[in-house]
Amino acid sequence: MHPYRTHTCGDLREADAGSVARLSGWVFHKRDHGGVLFIDLRDHYGVTQIVIHPEKSFFEECQRWRSESVVTVYGRVAARTADTVNADLPTGGVELVVDEVTIQSAADPLPLHLAGEDEGPEETRLRYRFLDLRRERMQRNILLRSRVIASMRRRLTEKGFPEFQTPILTSSSPEGARDYLVPSRVHPGKFYALPQAPQLFKQLLMVSGFDRYFQIAPCFRDEDARADRSPGEFYQLDIEMAFATQDEVFETVEDVLHGVFAEFSDWEIDAAPFVRIPYKEAMLKYGTDKPDLRIPIEIRDVSGVFAASDFNAFRSVVEKGGVVRAIPVKGIADRPRSFFDKMVAFAQGIGSKGLAYLVWQEGKVKGPIFKFLKPEDVDALASQCGVSDGDVLFFVSDKEKPASRIAGEVRHKLGHDLGLIPSGVYKFCWVVDFPMFEYDEELGRVGFSHNPFSMPQGGMQALQEQDPLDVLAYQYDIVCNGCELSSGAIRNHLPEVMYKAFEIAGYPPETVDERFGALIRAFRMGAPPHGGLAPGVDRIVMLLAHETSIREVIAFPMNQRAQDLMMDAPSSVSEKQLRELHIRMQLPHADKPA
RNA sequence: GGGGGCGUAGCUCAAUUGGUUAGAGUCCCGGACUGUCGAUCCGGUGGUUGCGGGUUCGAGCCCCGUCGCUCCCGCCA
């Protein structure tokens, strides 16, 4: 007989009654009646009740077993009597009547409760992650992650995408986030950088003639955390295709993502092809480049109505080049005044000068700005925004960029507070046609809006002839329920177009050669047109697990300050290590240890 | 770097809004109990109220500072 187990703690059924079995697992719940002791023994697969009778020599030893100790028990499987069956457990029809016990590992008292609803403080959960991960929910999440990744691999492999590894120790990339640096022992004063993404390598693989590529790729960025953004490292399903159009990239990814979401969720999922929304339209209708399409509200531009109105506050904004955006909401005219006051306060809190509104109720229109409007203005607003009795229009007026943002946040807040977000639905969309360049207010000049490797729509001609701010890129995002899953692009594989694009963004050719030497050199020696994208694996698993924090789907995440509390990283290193790396410390506060 | 929230027993929380010796559940320790499944019952250990300073006759509560966690802004090609 196996020294540890003949069955897992999820295996035994009534059909096993009468046979002998050996089980190993963690002591979960203990119910000690003095005359009989019940223990729920738990492993990865389930829970089985074991029974220890008082005449056994080891009875008192078992009474002393603390929760989470690991034990091995041997005995006879017995069917439970009808009145003692536990219908909540798959193994609830049987119990193991124990004849031999071995304690494999006695547990100290724990800093966390593993049973019940309470999670405990996140700091403790992270410090004792190995305990936290014993919870059923965490086991489920981490297992889901494993299955999702396996499914992604299978789906891409079936489509003829080979998986490649790319270097972890590479060179610092000049654009983007801060790099994690690794000092070189052999080359004093020089550093490797951990890749922020395998971007350049996957493009070089296309130039190498591999045609297609994917990788479950670790990415490292030294940026601050968010609930949906783990500090330090995260994983992307990195994909690249040669000789592919944007539509072919979309088709491939829709197939994979739809397949993965359908495989691991019962929620309703948009059928492919997913809706495609030009960036400009997304900013107008949803006020964001990652719209949550579950919210049934579409923002409208009503600048024209107010330009011709007698409402000076809005008219003057429009005359100065600003806009007025209307947010129509159905059937909330009967909300109390406090609701509207709360929305106004919210808008002001996010940088709006105010939040005007009109209420269509019982055949009349009212609201703080009603008295400034002519009847034909009100009619125009109603028809342009599709509102009728019972509906409300909120208004935001500002320069275009802040007005879009504020209207978008108000839309989201309304959707959330009014319970307009349906559950059980995944709404996907592509946001396409991102601008190639944008005006950088801080620097006072034109810069890349997204990523300098994208092919401008219209190619060289567009760069030469159009206003840079009008040039669009073959640059796209895929968004699910307001969560950005991925950015991608059809890449710019033409050196001359790349030099021109960088010139517009203010960089001379030498800079391009210096920073992207490997890529430009490769592009001079026969490069296929290519493109791809890289959906975030952690975020996809987070959505599928219905978690709101990305840390819940990562086995060993760092905390918000990029520390691993369990392993105590980052940590100090020895003087010898520093000497070998030619590094001398210069700490911000000499009296404060790091 | 900035803003909001939180910080009381190992864990989850309370403390009549400034008033006697900071309580309860849980965990842990001891005891009772032969059918439980969040077992139950009795008893016990456990606190520099994150830390430092201030106001006050008196501070868990008010003020200032600081540290930690978390959410957000900046940042994330």
A413-466 per-position pLDDT tens digit: 898 888 888 989 999 999 999 999 988 777 778 888 888 889 999 999 999 999
Considering all nucleic acid strands, name the nucleotide whose C1' atom is nearest to the C-alpha of residue A97: B35
Nearest partner of A100 among A163, A134, A53, judged by Cα: A53
Considering all nucleic acid strands, name the nucleotide whose C1' atom is nearest to the C-alpha of residue A489: B77
CA nearest to nucleotide B75 C1': residue:
A223
Q: DSSP for A101-158?
A: EEEEEPPPPPSS--SSS----HHHHHHTHHHHTTSHHHHHHHHHHHHHHHHHHHHHHH
* CA of residue A564 to C1' of nucleotide B60, angstroms: 32
Contact call for residues A468 and A506 (beta carbons, < 8 A)? no
Considering all nucleic acid strands, name the nucleotide whose C1' atom is nearest to the C-alpha of residue A588: B1
* CA of residue A111 to C1' of nucleotide B26, angstroms: 12
Cis peptide before A368 (omega within 30 of 0): no
Alpha-carbon Rg for chain A, nearest whole angstrom, is 30
- Long-range contacts (CB closer than 8 Å, 24 or more residues apart) made by A285-288: A286/A408, A286/A411, A287/A325, A287/A404, A287/A405, A287/A406, A287/A407, A287/A408, A287/A409, A287/A410, A287/A411, A288/A404, A288/A405, A288/A408, A288/A412, A288/A482
pLDDT (0 to 100) of residue A175 = 64
One pLDDT digit (tens) per residue for chain A, 594 residues:
999 999 999 999 999 999 999 999 999 999 999 999 999 999 999 999 999 999 999 999 999 999 999 999 999 999 999 999 999 999 999 999 999 999 999 998 888 888 766 777 888 888 889 999 999 889 999 999 999 999 999 999 999 999 999 999 998 776 678 889 999 999 999 999 999 999 999 999 999 999 999 999 999 999 888 878 888 889 999 999 999 999 999 999 999 999 999 999 999 999 989 999 999 999 999 999 999 999 999 999 999 999 989 899 999 999 998 999 999 999 999 998 888 888 888 887 777 888 899 999 998 999 989 999 999 999 999 999 999 999 999 999 988 888 888 899 899 889 888 888 898 999 999 999 999 998 877 777 888 888 888 999 999 999 999 999 999 999 999 999 998 998 899 999 999 999 999 999 888 999 888 888 889 999 999 999 999 999 999 999 999 998 888 888 999 988 888 888 888 888 888 999 999 999 988 776 433 333
The Cα A457–Cα A16 span in angstroms is 68
What pLDDT digit, counting tens, does each position of A1-40 carry?
Answer: 999 999 999 999 999 999 999 999 999 999 999 999 999 9
CA nearest to nucleotide B73 C1': residue:
A350
pLDDT (0 to 100) of residue A517 = 87
Buried b (16+ CB within 10 A) or exposed e, A117-141: eeeeeeebbbbbbebbebbeebeeb
| C-alpha distance across the termini of chain A, in Å | 53
pLDDT (0 to 100) of residue A591 = 38
Considering all nucleic acid strands, name the nucleotide whose C1' atom is nearest to the C-alpha of residue A66: B28
From residue A270, alpha-carbon distances to A182, A203, A261, A275, A532 in Å are: 44, 31, 10, 9, 22
* CA of residue A132 to C1' of nucleotide B51, angstroms: 29
Q: Using alpha carbons only, give the angle A42, A48, A50 rounded to the nearest 5 degrees.
A: 105
10 Å CB burial of residue A253 (0-12, 13-18, 19+) is buried
pLDDT (0 to 100) of residue A83 = 92
Residue A96 backbone phi and psi in degrees, to 5: -105, 120
H or E segment at A484? Answer: strand A483-490
The Cα A305–Cα A320 span in angstroms is 15
Torsion angle, alpha carbons of A10, A13, A16, A22, to 10: 20
The Cα A404–Cα A388 span in angstroms is 24
* CA of residue A592 to C1' of nucleotide B66, angstroms: 14
Residue A534 backbone phi and psi in degrees, to 5: -150, 85
Considering all nucleic acid strands, name the nucleotide whose C1' atom is nearest to the C-alpha of residue A200: B77
Helices of type H across A421-505: 459-465, 495-504
* CA of residue A113 to C1' of nucleotide B26, angstroms: 9
pLDDT (0 to 100) of residue A343 = 86
The Cα A391–Cα A407 span in angstroms is 17
The Cα A429–Cα A162 span in angstroms is 27
* CA of residue A31 to C1' of nucleotide B43, angstroms: 19
- Determine what percent of chain A is predicted with pLDDT higher than 90: 69
Contact call for residues A397 and A314 (beta carbons, < 8 A)? yes
The Cα A573–Cα A570 span in angstroms is 9
H or E segment at A382? Answer: helix A375-385
The Cα A248–Cα A251 span in angstroms is 5
Residue in the block written with tokens 């969560």: A483
The Cα A92–Cα A9 span in angstroms is 11
Nearest partner of A545 among A120, A260, A235, A198, judged by Cα: A260
What pLDDT digit, counting tens, does each position of A49-81 carry?
Answer: 999 999 999 999 999 999 999 999 999 999 999
Helices of type H across A160-207: 199-207
CA nearest to nucleotide B28 C1': residue:
A109
